[in-house]
Amino acid sequence: MYAPEFDYYRAGSVSEAAGLLRKYPGSKLLAGGQSLIPLLKLRLAAPVAVIDIGRIRDLKGITVKGGTIRVGAMTTHAELAASSELAEQCHALAQAAAGIGDPAVRNRGTIGGNVAHADPASDLPAVLVALEAKLTVEGPDGKRTLDAGGFFQGMMTTALKEHEILTAIEIPAHSKGQGSAYAKFAHPASRYAVIGVAAVVTTSGGKCSAARVAIGGMVPRPVRAASVERVLAGQELSAENIAKAAGQVTESLGNEVLGDIFASEQYRRSVAPVWVKRGLTQAAERAR
Ligand SMILES: Cc1cc2nc3c(=O)[nH]c(=O)nc-3n(C[C@H](O)[C@H](O)[C@H](O)COP(=O)(O)OP(=O)(O)OC[C@H]3O[C@@H](n4cnc5c(N)ncnc54)[C@H](O)[C@@H]3O)c2cc1C
């Protein structure tokens, strides 16, 4: 199907893009187009104007400074996956990006588009929640910074206001004794997450001093699995302790577990501990 008619603008800067969003109410930003273009072609979206932010240099790239990793919103999944800095200092993000879709999707799709779109089956939202990332957004009222935990508000719903643009994501680089990983039960056709588990483990004196686990795919927005984190804190990272903690995951999922033709709610609930165990085991190995 063809997309409905719309005007097309190419913004040269964030302020120009913000101005165009204000000037054309009901317009949409275009990043990698991997979600927006299908929506237009299916006529599930009909913006009056599409504002292309793909040539704004300030929105691209990965920099590491003083223990903080800054990722521009227009950085592609392929760039995240290929970054040696991320692989070393923020492994879960590079690992998750490497498993998104296929090479064509990874070469066009961006972290900003993935996060702003907030599809429950996307990989990066859960990763950013587990990494306690901070998201910078810019709009007519200036800049603000939001915690990833509060950014995702529901299915395809974020804290972004109408004229705001997500410009960058900041993540604390791993400290000594810390490791992270992402384990995904991928849909066999699209590779979207049926269940996605992002885990960050901090070790001290041979024990787990803190664990952060975020679950995506099976719930409308990524959630922290506090029930798992609690059981693991202060324990040795043995296979037995990890399995015991992972077994507590459904306690944190509430009654909003999604089900579809591929994987029912009950099925997702029953296999979730397996994927939490895999995520935690990999993160623990990287922390040693
Ligand atoms: C076949 C296929 C398989 C896929 N598999 C996976 C997968 O396995 N895992 C996964 O996580 N994802 C998957 N995706 C999604 C893909 O990863 C993209 O990240 C995602 O579609 C959106 O990124 P984009 O840059 O293409 O954004 P676009 O499609 O350009 O935009 C998406 C939405 O975000 C808004 N937006 C974009 N950038 C910004 C910004 N900076 N500030 C504010 N709003 C913004 C747009 O206006 C639009 O509403 C898949 C997509 C396809 C087509």
Which atom of ligand 1 is nearest the CA belonging to 59? 41
pLDDT band at 288, cuts 50/70/90? confident
| 9: its two tokens | 């603008």
Q: Which of 20, 36, 77 to mutate to test the pocket of ligand 1 (most atoms within 8 A of CB)?
A: 36
Walk me through the domains of the chain, giving residue ranges and CATH numbers: 7-52 (3.30.43.10), 57-172 (3.30.465.10), 178-287 (3.30.390.50)
SS3 227: helix
Confidence of residue 105 (pLDDT cuts 50, 70, 90): very high
Ligand 1 nearest atom to the CA of residue 167, by list position? 41
41 confidence band (pLDDT: 50, 70, 90) = very high
Q: How high is the mean pLDDT of the chain?
A: 96
Confidence of residue 141 (pLDDT cuts 50, 70, 90): confident
pLDDT in tens, 252-274: 999 989 999 999 999 999 999 99
Tell me: pLDDT of 167 over 90: yes
The answer for 192, left when phi > 0, alpha when psi is -120 to 50, beta otherwise, is beta
What was the pLDDT predicted at 206? 87
Share of the chain above pLDDT 90, in %: 95
Average pLDDT estimate for 89-107: 98
- What phi, psi does 219 have (nearest 5°)? -135, 155
Return the pLDDT at 266: 96
b/e burial code for range 240-276 (CB count within 10 A of at least 16 → b): ebbebbbbbbbebbeeebbeeeebeeeebbeebbbbb
List, for residues 199-238, the tens digit of each pLDDT value. Answer: 999 999 989 999 999 999 999 999 999 999 999 999 999 9
| Spatial separation of the C-alpha atoms in residues 207 and 242, rounded to whole Å | 12
CB of 126 within 8 A of CB of 253? no
Give the model's pLDDT for residue 140: 83
Burial class (CB in 10 A: 0-12, 13-18, 19+), 40: buried
Provide the CA 96 distance to its chain's centre, in angstroms.
Answer: 8
Helix axes 265-287 and 239-246, enclosed angle (nearest 10)? 150
Rounded Cα gap, residues 193 and 229, in angstroms: 21
Tokens 């960050």 belong to: 200
Beta bridge partners of 224: 214
CB within 8 A of 269, min separation 6: which ones?
218, 250, 253, 257
User: Quick one: average pLDDT of 57-70?
Assistant: 96
Pocket residue to mutate for ligand 1, from 71, 74, 76, 117, most atoms within 8 A of Cβ: 117
DSSP state of 59: G
d(CA 216, CA 221) in angstroms, rounded, equals 7
**Cβ partners under 8 Å of residue 270, min gap 6:** none
Q: Whose CA is nearest to atom 38 of ligand 1?
A: 113
* Buried-exposed string 121-150: b where 16+ CB fall within 10 A, e elsewhere: bbbbbbbbbbbebbbbbbbeeeeeebebbe
Measured CA to CA, the distance from residue 114 to residue 119 in angstroms comes to 8
Q: By three-state DSSP, how is residue 99 classified?
A: coil
pLDDT value at residue 48: 95
Please give the model's pTM, rounded to 2 decimal places. Answer: 0.97
